[in-house]
């Protein structure tokens, strides 16, 4: 019984460190201003610009986004590189036509790319429906900051559908 309590106590401490944000590193620097709000965005089409996601660097260090991939979306795929696009007047590109025609598109940075400290940027890529019965997808963002590597999975899902 004593050994069980010791293991259970160690498990609780380890879980608390994980929930607190990767142990000794503290809170990861990259987040989403939506504060973890989940949901589904659906737009009819074949290939759309998915500019629904924002990436907020809340740290005092530069973040380098190393890769972005679409996950969990049967019948959908990324059909362009991912780009970091400056946000104009708090307006995101959102789910829009591809290729993008947007005032700040000319200032985009292709991933791998950096996000300056205390800056929020719009993540944009082409998302294509590959069959008539797709499932919603989300993104996985891999990045580094201050000598550490991180992975962030967005909670909001996006669906490019035949009809919504």
In the prediction, which pLDDT does 23 show? 37
For residue 5, is pLDDT > 70?
no
Is pTM, for the whole model, over 0.75? yes
Q: Exposed/middle/buried for 7, CB within 10 Å: 0-12, 13-18, 19+?
A: exposed
Could you report the per-residue pLDDT of 99-133, keeping only the tens digit for each? 899 899 999 999 999 999 999 999 999 999 999 99
Distances (CA, A) of 80 to 7, 32, 58, 68, 151: 47, 22, 27, 11, 21
- Superfamily grouping for domain 28-161: Immunoglobulins (2.60.40.10)
In the prediction, which pLDDT does 111 show? 98
Sign for the CA dihedral angle at 35, 37, 40, 41 comes to negative
Q: How far apart, in whole angstroms, are the C-alpha atoms of residue 48 and residue 125? A: 8
Could you report the per-residue pLDDT of 67-105, keeping only the tens digit for each? 999 998 899 999 999 999 999 888 888 888 898 998 999
DSSP letter string, the chain: -HHHHHHHHHHHHHHHHHHHHSGGG-S-SEE-TTTT--EEEEEESSEEEEEEEEEEE-SSS-EEEEEEEEES-TTEEE-S--EEEEPBTTB--EEEESS---TTGGG-EESSEEE-TTEEEEEEEEEEE-SSS---BEEEEEEEETTEEEEEE-SEEEEEES--
Nearest CA to 155 out of 51, 40, 42 is that of 40
In the prediction, which pLDDT does 91 show? 85
In the prediction, which pLDDT does 4 show? 36
């Amino acid at each position: 019984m004593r050994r069980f309590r010791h293991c259970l106590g160690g498990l609780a401490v380890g879980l608390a460190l994980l929930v607190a944000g990767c142990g000794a590193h503290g809170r990861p620097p990259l987040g989403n201003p939506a504060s973890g709000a989940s949901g589904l965005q659906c737009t009819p089409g074949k290939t759309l610009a998915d500019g629904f996601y924002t990436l907020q660097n809340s740290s005092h260090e530069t973040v380098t986004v190393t890769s972005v991939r679409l996950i969990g979306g049967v019948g959908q795929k990324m059909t362009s590189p991912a780009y970091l696009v400056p946000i104009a007047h708090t307006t995101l590109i959102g789910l829009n036509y591809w290729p993008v025609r947007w005032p700040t598109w000319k200032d985009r940075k292709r991933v791998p790319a950096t996000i300056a400290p205390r800056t929020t940027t719009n993540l944009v890529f082409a998302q294509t429906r590959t069959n008539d019965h797709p499932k919603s997808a989300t993104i996985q963002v891999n990045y580094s900051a201050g000598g550490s590597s991180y992975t962030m999975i967005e909670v909001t899902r996006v669906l490019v559908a035949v009809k919504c």
